[in-house]
Amino acid sequence: MSVGTTQTRQGLGGRLAALSRIVELGPGRVDPKLLTESGQLLLRAGDRLKLSSEHTVVALAGGTGSGKSTLFNSVSGLELSPTGVRRPTTARAHACVWGLDGAGPLLDWLQIQWRHRFARASALDKGESGLHGLILLDLPDHDSIRALTDSEADRLIQIADLVVWVLDPQKYADASTHRRYVTELAGHDAVTIFVLNQIDRLSPEELAECVADLNDLLRREGVEAPIIVPTSATRGEGVDELRAVLAETVVRRRAAVQRLEADLDRITIRLLKAMPDEGVPVPASTVDDARRIGLTDALCDAVGVPALGEAMENVYGVRSVEWVGWPYTRWAAKLRPDPLNSLRLGDLKDEIRGVKGGSVSAQAAEVDNAVRALSDGLTAGMHEAWQNGIREAARSNSAELPQLLSGELTEIAPRLDRVPAWWRLLLVWQYFLVLLFLAGIAWLGTALAYGVFEMGTLPPGLEVFGETASLPWVGLMVLSVLGLGLLTAVASRNFVMLGAGNERDRLEREMRRRVGAVASTTVIEPVERELARYNEFYSALRGVRG
């Protein structure tokens, strides 16, 4: 094998590997029929490239009455394929092999029966050394009324390294040949030859006119540089020219690769029409931080994280009044309407308590909108099939997402009946001050009654409480206790509100962290897998272009 052929095979191998990735990545995005044909091409290419590269498979194809079998016998120099007036004459493909060594597995792959294989590998075949490595097939008529022969002709036309179309002057423009085969094989110029047979029936002027007309017809059908060889198989005219063309193809040993490249080019054109890669955006395979944060924010709104944090802070502050407020203020407040009712904080309190019981629920519609906004932002400019694929990936867990979010937030919802230890200590301190205040009031009353108004005499040992000299000091003590209680209440209230704010921040951070983790697992990861698939698909599509 030449160096050029080796390099060609290596290039073809890379393109076939890219096509293989397209077949793997394409389901759901590419037309199934196109993927099936691509898979068939991969199988065919794999089989052909494993078989003899020293042999070139040339198929003589044509309609009934074109003289195909006669031409086959004329090129081979032997009466190998039956000819006659019965239509179709050739029911099974025949093969003539120049150089039989190594051709057996290839003939098996072609499914040529043993009794229809013939060898031209004798020293008597002088002057035919250029054809060494040629496997010439005489195919059944492609327009046969026999389904079996028609199917066999189609199969071999699809896998032959080079196809020689044998046409006759009467039917060279036959629609069945051009519509079913020639048009479909446009772009296969390097591995397609057209033989205008039976030229013995034409005058030189008619022959020139037929060749020119056939050339124009083929060019209109997409054959850019048609090779046309006029022959008369019965008289041997043009047969040597045909042999020379075949010999040139055989000597190059590139027809098999060229045929696969042409088939691959045709598949590539169809893939590019279905999935164009010109101007296709190349997004990162990972979702950027800004979109992650945006999704988390939207999901937090959908589940009500800010509202829950605010409700928790409000109820936390209101409940603290029961523990850290100045008792006299609380007792006076009982004479007024309940502030919880006026501020509707009682409902918030009940809601937060319900959170602990697992009643947090995400709004499914808002969750869906958040997920859709993410996918829409990532798919701008993409092919519709991939847009749908990324949307489907983003929503792959949409049914479970609201429940997962609710479950995560329910686990960390605060206990509203939890009382911090310092609240309890402060309550003891406040009541201690209340007792001091009451004791001071009692002392003042006793001093006034027994010291000022002399209403009687105190028992021995208690005279000190009736001394008028103690009145200023006791009054100062009562005022100090009262001020200390109020100051303690105000300071405690400030500490409570500061603590409530910190608790809210902590709660919201933890909620956001959990919402972000759920979003990453259920939305981001499936989307990133689809983005990676998208990028790999278009990388393979560019690779298959060569």
Q: Which domains does the chain have, with CATH numbers?
A: 56-263 (3.40.50.300), 289-545 (no CATH)
Q: Each residue of 414-434: b (16+ CB within 10 Å) or e?
A: bebeeeeeebeebbeebeebb
Phi, psi (deg, nearest 5) at residue 118: -135, 145
Model pLDDT, residue 466: 63
Long-range own/partner contacts, residues 87-92 (CB < 8 A, 24 or more apart):
87/141, 87/144, 88/64, 88/140, 88/141, 88/144, 88/145, 88/146, 88/149, 89/141, 90/138, 90/139, 90/140, 90/141, 90/149, 91/140, 91/146, 91/148, 91/149, 92/116, 92/140, 92/149, 92/152
Query: How far, CA to CA in Å, does 137 sit from each of 96, 111, 152, 391?
Result: 7, 11, 12, 52
Residues of the chain with pLDDT under 50: 1-10, 84-88, 123-124, 145-149, 340, 343-346, 348-349, 352-359
Model pLDDT, residue 92: 83
Model pLDDT, residue 345: 45
pLDDT in tens, 84-112: 444 445 568 999 999 888 999 999 999 99
Dihedral angle computed from the Cα positions of residues 380, 398, 410 and 509, in that order, rounded to the nearest 10 degrees:
-10
Q: Which two tokens stand for residue 301?
A: 């709104």
Alpha helices, H only, 96-238? 104-110, 147-159, 175-177, 204-220
pLDDT in tens, 127-150: 567 899 999 999 987 665 444 445
The count of residues in the chain is 546
Model pLDDT, residue 315: 67
3-state secondary structure of 234: coil
pLDDT in tens, 231-279: 998 888 999 999 999 999 999 889 999 999 999 999 999 999 888 877 7
Within 10 A of 183 (CB to CB), how many other CB atoms are there? Answer: 14
End-to-end CA distance of the chain: 22
pLDDT in tens, 319-355: 666 667 667 666 665 666 655 455 444 454 455 444 4
Model pLDDT, residue 465: 67
